[in-house]
Amino acid sequence: MPTTSVEKLSPTRAKLTISVTPEELKPSIAHAYEHIAEQIAVPGFRKGKVPPPIIDQRVGKAAVLEHAVNEGLDGFYRAAVNEHELRPLGRPSADIVEWPNEKDFSGDLLLAIEVDVRPEIELPDYQGLELTVDSVEVGDDEVTEELERLRSRFGTLITVDRPAKTGDFVTLDLVATIDGTEVDTASGVSYELGSGELLEGIDEALDSLTAGETTTFESKLLGGDHQGETAEITVSVTAVKERELPEADDDFAQIASEFDTLDELTASLKEQVAKNKSFGQGSQARDLLVDKLLELVDVPVADSVIEDEVHRHLESEGRLEDDEHRAEVTESSTKAFKTQIVLDAIAEQEKVQVSQEELTQYLVQGAAQYGMDPNEFVQILSQNGQIPAMVGEVARNKALAIALGKVTVKDAAGNAVDLSEFTAVVDENEAEGDEAASEAPAEEAPAEEAPAEEAKPAKKRSSKKAAEADEASAEEADAEKKPARKRTAKQADAE
């Protein structure tokens, strides 16, 4: 096993020094000969059967050594990370400090690899922290609004002979043209005026139109072959309907609910509004707890990890030159990074484990959020190596719930707030009894988006012989797509 040592360059960056003996590099050398033999064509030898001496003549031992180091580097790095129990963030950067002798591969290979690592933090005692959330106050207007919403569900549409106004339902025929060419049509479309759920500008175009009238306006198409293009929309109103609401009385209460009287229904609606607001208290308490923990804990930030995340975010939006937005994304990514580090630490301290059932429930909810079939959603995540990240998210959510259960939460009036629905208690026997329980740690990624797949060492190279070897085995180089790495001045001079 290679000899390794680690040096902490900063709270968020470490340097691994790895010394590989010729015996330890030997398997990579043998594999390099096999790979190159499969890629080069030599008269008189079948592909894959070219002997090492011929390969040495054709591409040179330097190329074989280069290939062997490229192949073995990732394994050496992973072994060193495991040995020293490091938790890498981002992509490592490798430097070849010393090379073995090119003539007979004698001498040690010396590697220096730098990588951002998850910082170690000291958690505060969150037991007994006090948080103040907004009081739950239900106004009469809020109850009335809920009652009106319920009445609208039982309303009927009545055709009217007057101009359309906000809240009416209009039946429409639409024709979209671009440069005089018809590109899309739709007939008999029912649309609630003022909802803003059809095309941008249609509410203004339809306002005050009556059945039988036609108008035109310009808008961007939301689908089809011309999605995103600006078209001229001709819209014809064929009918205007208003919603007629049932009377709010005891009869309505019996039709719309399990209650016999309107008073009972109104009281139930008031309770429902209060319950919804209590959920708001729970969300507010979670946010306040995270902010309080970040205030109490010094979390060193891996700047390069944040920069990479911000770059990916802005690049996906096509806003790399937007400095103002860059500052906003940097701030949010930094907070997300710190939050993840703190919650991961709580998960470890509370010995949080994730059961298969919890993970499945989380994935099903994620699939519903994206409107996808759960099996397809899981398959895509699995193919991209993102399941461990999902396990990490579930663990962090559980950690936050556990911490929330240990703090004191009151409303603005000083009344204790019951957040039992938002808290969790660790059952030490629960994980032991669940054979499917997963102990996978959270992925170390700074943003809320799905993390990139696990990074390998980034290598810098500058070698004429290496370039010649790449030309001789171009197909293999394309297949591996491994980053380049830097060679020593001695190695470059020898070439």
pLDDT tens readout for residues 106-135 = 999 999 999 999 999 999 899 889 999 998
Residue 455 has pLDDT above 60, yes or no: no
User: Pairing mode, if any, of strands 130-133 and 408-411?
Assistant: parallel
pLDDT value at residue 465: 33
Rounded average pLDDT over 172-200: 92
Q: Model confidence at 457, in pLDDT bands (50, 70, 90)? A: low
The separation between CA 6 and the C-alpha centre of its own chain, rounded to angstroms, equals 31
Asked if residue 42 lies in contact with residue 58, where contact means CB atoms within 8 angstroms, the answer is: yes
Question: Of the ranges 154-158, 159-163, 460-464, which one carries the lowest mean pLDDT score?
Answer: 460-464
Could you identify the residue written with the tokens 């936050």? Answer: 400
pLDDT tens readout for residues 22-55 = 999 999 999 999 999 988 888 888 888 889 999 8
Higher confidence at residue 475 or residue 256? 256
Asked if residue 495 lies in contact with residue 465, where contact means CB atoms within 8 angstroms, the answer is: yes
The separation between CA 459 and the C-alpha centre of its own chain, rounded to angstroms, equals 27
Could you identify the residue written with the tokens 């175009």? Answer: 205
Which residue in 288, 332, 267 sits closest to 306, CA to CA? 332
Rounded average pLDDT over 210-235: 91
pLDDT value at residue 42: 86
Rounded average pLDDT over 467-474: 35
Max avg pLDDT among 86-90, 251-255, 466-470: 251-255
pLDDT value at residue 300: 93
Q: Model confidence at 460, in pLDDT bands (50, 70, 90)? A: very low
pLDDT value at residue 197: 85
Residue 143: count of CB within 10 angstroms of its CB? 19
pLDDT tens readout for residues 484-494 = 344 433 333 33
Question: Of the ranges 64-73, 89-98, 312-321, 426-435, which one carries the lowest mean pLDDT score?
Answer: 426-435
Rounded average pLDDT over 90-118: 92
pLDDT value at residue 456: 52
Question: Of the ranges 75-84, 148-157, 216-225, 459-468, which one carries the lowest mean pLDDT score?
Answer: 459-468
pLDDT value at residue 476: 35
Residue 205 has pLDDT above 60, yes or no: yes
pLDDT value at residue 422: 78
Higher confidence at residue 420 or residue 325? 325
Asked if residue 193 lies in contact with residue 203, where contact means CB atoms within 8 angstroms, the answer is: yes
Rounded average pLDDT over 378-405: 92
Residue 462 has pLDDT above 70, yes or no: no
Q: What is the DSSP string of 431-443?
A: HHH-TT-B-PPPP
pLDDT value at residue 114: 94
The SS3 call for residue 21 is coil
pLDDT value at residue 424: 59
Could you identify the residue written with the tokens 């980053």? Answer: 483
User: What own/partner pairs with CB < 8 Å and gap ≥ 24 does 265-270 have?
Assistant: 265/147, 266/143, 266/147, 269/143, 269/146, 269/147, 269/150, 270/138, 270/143
The separation between CA 462 and the C-alpha centre of its own chain, rounded to angstroms, equals 36
Rounded average pLDDT over 297-315: 92
Rounded average pLDDT over 126-155: 90
Q: What's the mean pLDDT when you consider all of the chain?
A: 84
Which residue in 243, 233, 244 sits closest to 206, CA to CA? 233
Q: Model confidence at 480, in pLDDT bands (50, 70, 90)? A: very low
pLDDT tens readout for residues 403-430 = 999 999 998 989 888 888 777 554 444 4
Residue 326 has pLDDT above 60, yes or no: yes
Rounded average pLDDT over 366-390: 91
